[in-house]
Amino acid sequence: MKGIIKEVILENFMSYKYGRITLKPGFNFITGPNGAGKSAILLGISLAMGQLSTERSRRLADLVRKGEEIGRVSLILNNSKEDGKRPFPSYNKDEIMISRYLRKDGSYWFEIDYKEASRQEVLDLLNRVGIDPNNLLIIMPQGMIDEFIIIKPEEKLKMVEEALGIAGIRQNLLEAKERLKKIVSEEAQYQDLISKAMESLERWREEYEKVLLSRQLKDRLGQLQAELAWANVLKIERSINGLREKINRVNEEISSISAKNTELQEEFNEASRKFESDLNAVKESIPKIYKGDESSLRVAYDSLNEISEVSKNMLETYSRIKVNEYKLETLSSELKDLSKELNELSSELEEAKKLAQGQRPESVRTISEIEDEIRTVNAQLKVLGEVNVEAEKIYLEFKNKLEEYKEKLEEVKKNKEKTMQEVEKRTEEWKQVISKTISEINEKYNEIMSRINASGKVVLVNENDPEAAGLRLYASFIGTDLIPIDSFSQSGGELSAAVTAFLLAVQMYVVSPFRALDEFDVHMDPIVREKFLKAIYDVAKGSNTQYLIITPNFPSFYADDINFIIVQKSQSGSLPKVVAR
């Protein structure tokens, strides 16, 4: 692979008035006396790539060359095609330039191919090829050894994961665990809500049941009132039917008496005619009797006897007629009263029917039975007393909330189960990847340490707790036992050797096409320094990675493919120069 950085341009930056440093693929070696401006090259690269921190915590304003108002650091990046593809496919050209401008007032801005861009756009661009300028395992500035020793094991592991491009595995796991934590918290919240809702529901249940009972009793009272109304209708109808039957009987009796009187009247009239006839016979016989006619006397005598009998019958018949006429008069009066009462009951029935609601029941109890139950229901309502009409609304609200919370809780439990399975799966994936990675790094680390007659070990701590997991380095020099590396147990040279060996071991697996080490060897003796430089050279030679090594010491070995750059300081500023390739 061709080197990713073709050239570094520093303009009014630190000790550089204007400098161009050409980098080659493979191994680039920058040397020169202290203060010449070697580290400024790596700092310029870091800043151009979007790194926020600066060497020795300098302010950005302090990096602008003295006497100037604005400085610039630029990188010309290789974008030529390999296997038909460009590293940065958004730019259809073989070279692109990223720049960072610094002002004396501390402000700055970025450009990509002379077009202003945000820092994030620059980071996203470099991330496409695996470069993270803020990862100390990719760009190792001055003081990296001391800084790496004091950082916590958790941060060491994080740096390794980010440098190797596997940070996303643990990040996904931690995000899943965080989701699980939130789900568990959400589950507890819903359980608490359910508990509180149930308590509230129980508090309002008695009032709610009173409301229901009151409603049932009032509904029953309404039904009884309706039944009572129909019972009253039935009572009136029965009274009307009774009146009609009575009227019919009176009418029949009137008809019967009237017919009898007609017969009696005919009998009376017939007797009256007989009376007149007999009377006439007597009258006609009297003159003849006076003349001495005996037969006329017998006729008169017989007629008088008949007249006496007829008169008696007539009187009896007349009496019967008058009695019947009295009866008819009485019955007519009664019939009139009955008809009036019938009309009144008919009107009362119409009114009663208006009060009766709903469909006419098939059977209706007696009014007394209904009134007894009405009194019972009213007594129950009185005992029940006043009810809170809002109780039903409140109770049902809590009930609905309770059902809603239960449904939500079921969803949360399902999500919890699913997320737990995800956490378990991702945990196993992370353990496998990180164990394999640390095992490989440990092997390389020990191999590099063996070149200086030392040994080492990389240990993954808190493996079962991904959030607290970290890396701890062990080293052994001159046959001593393996002990953790720290600033108290090893000398400066031993610390430099152990940390550098670890960083080299890690870099063998780093996905970034560019790596840099600045003055890693300041505490090493010449022999150890040479062994490490050769180890770095071997790593660079056997990979497609562009290396940049900065040291004040010139190497004691030479190779044709090493790009040697010497930085010297002059009155005009730092001057970089390629001396060998």
Q: Write the pLDDT tens digit of every residue in 195-253.
A: 988 888 888 888 888 888 988 999 999 888 888 899 999 999 899 999 999 999 999 99
Mean pLDDT, residues 400-425 taken together: 93
Check residue 116 and give its pLDDT: 94
Asked if 181 and 452 count as a contact pair (C-beta separation under 8 A), the reply is no
Check residues 573 and 48 and name the one with the higher pLDDT. Answer: 48
Q: What is the pTM of this model?
A: 0.61
Rg, C-alpha atoms of the chain:
63
For all residues of the chain together, what is the average pLDDT?
87
Q: Which amino acid is at 229?
A: A
Q: Is the pLDDT of residue 58 over 80?
A: no
Query: Which of 48, 63, 44 has its CA nearest to residue 141?
Result: 44
* Residue 580: band (very low, low, confident or very high) from pLDDT cuts 50, 70, 90: low
Least confident of 114-118, 310-314, 558-562: 558-562
Q: Is the pLDDT of residue 561 over 60?
A: yes
Distances (CA, A) of 366 to 233, 236, 356: 11, 12, 15
Q: Write the pLDDT tens digit of every residue in 483-499.
A: 988 877 878 888 888 88
Q: Is 90 exposed, middle or buried (0-12, 13-18, 19+ CB in 10 A)?
A: exposed
Using DSSP's 3-state secondary structure scheme, residue 486 falls into coil
**Token pair of 569, please?**
């300081």
Check residue 532 and give its pLDDT: 78
* Residue 523: band (very low, low, confident or very high) from pLDDT cuts 50, 70, 90: confident
Check residue 34 and give its pLDDT: 83
Check residues 295 and 104 and name the one with the higher pLDDT. Answer: 104
Check residue 178 and give its pLDDT: 92
Got the DSSP string for 447-465?
HHHHTTTEEEEEEEESTT-
Check residue 1 and give its pLDDT: 47
Least confident of 33-47, 49-63, 74-88, 408-422: 49-63
Mean pLDDT, residues 389-398 taken together: 87
Q: Is the pLDDT of residue 576 over 90?
A: no
Q: Is the pLDDT of residue 458 over 90?
A: yes
Q: Is the pLDDT of residue 528 over 50?
A: yes
Q: Which residues pair with 459 in a beta bridge?
A: 472
Which helix (H) or strand (E) is 527 found in, with range?
A: helix 526-541
Q: Which residues pair with 484 in a beta bridge?
A: 474
**Token pair of 461, please?**
């701590």
Check residue 430 and give its pLDDT: 92
C-alpha dihedral (290, 292, 297, 299), degrees to nearest 10: -100
β-strands 16-22, 5-13: how paired? antiparallel
